[in-house]
């Protein structure tokens, strides 16, 4: 009888230790996530702040010097960018805002030690994800060829001197895409959008070299109708 009680006590002790360990692990999760979060805010300084300023300046949100100091003008520019792109408008450049800008939080603190190949791989992944989000927001539900064509238009703009020279720059150029204005860039991404982004990045251009497209049922700009038509795919007219 005594041996039976001792066994039960041992089992209870082991279970208690397991519970305490698991509880500690759960309590540590928010702390670990906090450590993983990268945040730049009023008063921050450094090369990463210069990156933020440069991107915002290229996209027409920031108009001051690139000095690496997160001052009031940088703060207000970040808030403006956030408000235009469906993000929480708090003026703080956290992980979500940095991702929207195409700035990697994984490599921001180790750029000097990383190899060129690793940086290119990270940038490539970010470009693919951002392009998929744009396609998803602009052409979700369109024929697959039309989804790829929307991605191709972004890439055609990157190669055109009239537009920004990066995928993020083209996508976040003020007034360029409806999905940015209405927040659809942040909608849940369907698999076809991911596939379409990959096909566009791999060189498929169903748009025929177009740098513009629009839906005639919803277009409010008279100017867009003046662009030479290349082809119609689904609800979109692709133009030069």
Contacts of 200 (CB under 8 A, 6+ apart): 131, 135, 148, 151, 152, 154, 155
Q: Where are the beta strands (DSSP E) in the chain?
A: 212-214, 229-233, 236-239
For the chain, what's the residue count? 240
**What is the domain-level CATH number for residue 165?**
1.10.10.2520
If asked whether residues 23 and 69 sit together in one domain, one would say no
Boundary of a domain, candidates 65, 81, 114: 114
Boundary of a domain, candidates 58, 84, 114: 114
Q: Put residue 213 in one of left, alpha, beta given phi > 0 → left and psi -120 to 50 → alpha.
A: beta
If asked whether residues 174 and 133 sit together in one domain, one would say yes
If asked whether residues 8 and 77 sit together in one domain, one would say no
Parent domain of 154: 123-239
If asked whether residues 139 and 207 sit together in one domain, one would say yes
If asked whether residues 142 and 215 sit together in one domain, one would say yes
- Number of independent structural domains in the chain: 3
If asked whether residues 106 and 195 sit together in one domain, one would say no
Q: If you search the block for the tokens 């191709």, which residue do you land on?
A: 152
If asked whether residues 71 and 137 sit together in one domain, one would say no
If asked whether residues 128 and 235 sit together in one domain, one would say yes
**Euclidean distance between CA atoms 42 and 92, whole angstroms:** 8
If asked whether residues 26 and 110 sit together in one domain, one would say no
pLDDT, tens digit, 9 for 90 and up, residues 14-59: 555 544 444 444 444 443 443 345 789 888 888 899 999 999 998 9
Mean pLDDT for each consecutive 10-residue tract of the chain (240 residues)?
58 54 43 55 88 92 91 89 87 88 64 44 79 96 96 96 91 90 91 96 95 92 92 96
If asked whether residues 144 and 225 sit together in one domain, one would say yes
**Euclidean distance between CA atoms 154 and 50, whole angstroms:** 25
How high is the pLDDT of residue 105? 65
237 DSSP β-pair partners: 214, 232
How high is the pLDDT of residue 193? 96
**Euclidean distance between CA atoms 181 and 187, whole angstroms:** 13
If asked whether residues 171 and 151 sit together in one domain, one would say yes
Q: If you search the block for the tokens 């290119």, which residue do you land on?
A: 120
How high is the pLDDT of residue 43? 81
**What is the domain-level CATH number for residue 57?**
1.10.101.10
**Euclidean distance between CA atoms 27 and 211, whole angstroms:** 51
Q: If you search the block for the tokens 């744009």, which residue do you land on?
A: 134
- Residue pair 222/198 in contact by the 8 Å Cβ criterion: no
* pTM assigned to the model: 0.56
How high is the pLDDT of residue 116? 46
If asked whether residues 92 and 152 sit together in one domain, one would say no
229 DSSP β-pair partners: 239
Q: Report H helices in the chain.
A: 2-36, 47-58, 72-84, 95-100, 116-139, 144-158, 167-171, 178-181, 191-201
């Amino acid at each position: 009888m005594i041996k039976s009680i001792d066994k039960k006590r041992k089992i209870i002790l082991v279970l208690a230790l397991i519970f305490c360990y698991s509880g500690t692990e759960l309590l540590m999760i928010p702390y670990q996530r906090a450590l993983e979060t990268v945040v730049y805010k009023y008063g921050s300084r450094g090369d990463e702040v210069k990156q933020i300023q440069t991107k915002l300046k290229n996209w027409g949100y920031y108009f001051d010097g690139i000095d690496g100091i997160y001052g009031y003008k940088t703060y207000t520019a970040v808030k403006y960018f956030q408000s235009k792109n469906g993000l929480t408008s708090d003026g703080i450049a956290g992980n979500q805002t940095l991702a929207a800008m195409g700035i990697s939080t994984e490599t921001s603190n180790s750029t000097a030690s990383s190899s060129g190949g690793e940086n290119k791989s990270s940038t490539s992944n970010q470009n693919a994800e951002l392009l998929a989000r744009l396609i998803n927001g602009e052409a979700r539900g369109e024929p697959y060829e039309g989804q790829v064509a929307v991605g191709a238009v972004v890439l055609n703009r990157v190669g055109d001197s009239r537009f920004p020279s990066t995928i993020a720059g083209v996508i976040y150029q003020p007034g360029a895409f409806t999905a940015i204005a209405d927040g659809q860039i942040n909608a849940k991404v369907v698999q076809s959008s991911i596939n379409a982004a990959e096909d566009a990045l791999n060189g498929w251009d169903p748009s025929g070299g177009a740098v513009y497209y629009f839906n005639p049922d919803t277009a409010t700009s008279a100017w867009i109708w003046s662009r030479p038509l290349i082809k119609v795919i689904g609800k979109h007219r692709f133009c030069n």
